[in-house]
Structure 1
């Protein structure tokens, strides 16, 4: 029998600019529509810029719900208006923690330093067993091919355990990636004495 997780909220990390490839914007909008169609609430960084704005606007335009988590006084991003809910937090670290707390799973669209920081912070906590929320990369036009190849190299080099490499789901299709997040069994937690942070 296939394991299936109920996804009520999915956190999405992505760029605050649209990038050069038009497919990034097109598939960000497709992801938003797919989340809304399935009744899955979007949790994102609250920004009114780039791919972040596109995915959030698409969810709202298709009748879905969007929760933004925006750090006060952000030097680059302004918060998007008309969201279902907006949390204003004090720092980027608090934003990451709040997004992960709210969501049942998370995924990354194409992005730069901020997207990768958020994604790998969350996956390190998953690796440690601090939470059991699945993750994925929306690999539009092979954007994450080199990153995935590096992770395969890290596994081959003995610096990344195979079971940890398998924590990352990847697909070029929003619908397929959401299905993977919903159907992949959660990893086993580490013994409680291995860490002192509560699971979220």
Structure 2
């Protein structure tokens, strides 16, 4: 497997109702930057996504944001980073995937779920095979159970879950992505 150079962080544009989620996002951004990798995210300032990006930037990391123009009034546009503006959510997802070598999924809502499902669909179709780590099993545990359920009933191939990892913390998740020295 090639060494990772960019890590995409999927997470909510809200902070949720658990303070631990904010700490998790901050740690994700900081650790990605400290490891020498570019953090790729959705480009806005809101919620966990904004916290992760700010932490990466504050730690001296390189950050790439990708945001649809129509979302700027809703999510804000992160300043002081490379920010690419696109027309659609589909273009955003495609660019984030193309620019990333591995993925961290933190807690989030429907947008995060959509990004994760888009990536899993591409994996299922053989279009992508990049590693994915879901962080905080208390949040993602039911999702893992759902994937097992879909596989058990043969609505997808068991290979879909190859390369997926469900980890309790950021350090374990980054290790699961096999991050070594930046490539």
TM > 0.5 between the two?
A: yes
Q: Is the 8 A contact 1:16 1:51 kept in 2?
A: yes
Determine the C-alpha separation between the residues in 1 that align with 2:6 and 2:14. 23
Q: In the alignment, which of 158, 161, 168 is matched to residue 162 of structure 1?
A: 158
TM-score normalised to structure 2 length? 0.92
Match of 1:14 in 2: 11
TM-score of the superposition, structure 1-length normalised?
Answer: 0.84
Q: Which residue of 2 aligns with 1:23?
A: 20
1:170 & 1:17 partners in 2: Cα distance?
A: 22
Question: Higher helix proportion, which one?
Answer: 2
**Worse overlay, 43-52 or 171-180:** 171-180
Larger radius of gyration: 1
Which stretches in structure 1 are left out of the alignment for 5+ residues? 184-200
Structure 2: unaligned runs, 5 residues or longer: none
User: Is residue 150 of structure 1 aligned with residue 142 of structure 2?
Assistant: no
Q: For residue 159 of structure 1, report the CA deviation from its aligned partner.
A: 2.2
2:77 maps to what in 1? 79
CA distance in 2, matches of 1:167, 1:123: 10
1:102-148 CA distance string (max 9 Å, x none): 111112111111101011101211221112211121125x0011111
RMSD across aligned positions (CA): 1.4
The answer to which of 92-101 and 69-78 deviates more is: 69-78
